[in-house]
Amino acid sequence: MIDMRDIICPRCSSGNIIKNGNTVYGRPEFMCGDCRKHFPENPDIREIA
C-alpha cells in the first residue's frame, strides 16, 4: 500500500498530493494539488543531454 505522506511533488516539492488514476502501464499516477503536475508513483529522473 502506498503511504501518501511519503510522496512529494518532483516539481515544487509539495506534500499536497492527490491520487489521480493509473498510467497506461498500470502504475499509480498522482497529481500535485499546488502546481498541478501529474507524475507516476516512482518517476524516473532522466537528464536530457
What does DSSP assign to residue 41? S
How far separated are the first and last CA of the chain, in Å rounded? 35
Mean pLDDT of 17-42: 92
Residue 5 dihedral angles phi and psi, to the nearest 5°: -70, -20
**pTM for the structure as a whole:** 0.74
Q: What is the pLDDT of residues 1-25, one digit of tens each?
A: 667 778 899 999 999 999 999 988 8
pLDDT at site 49: 55
The predicted pLDDT at position 26 comes to 87
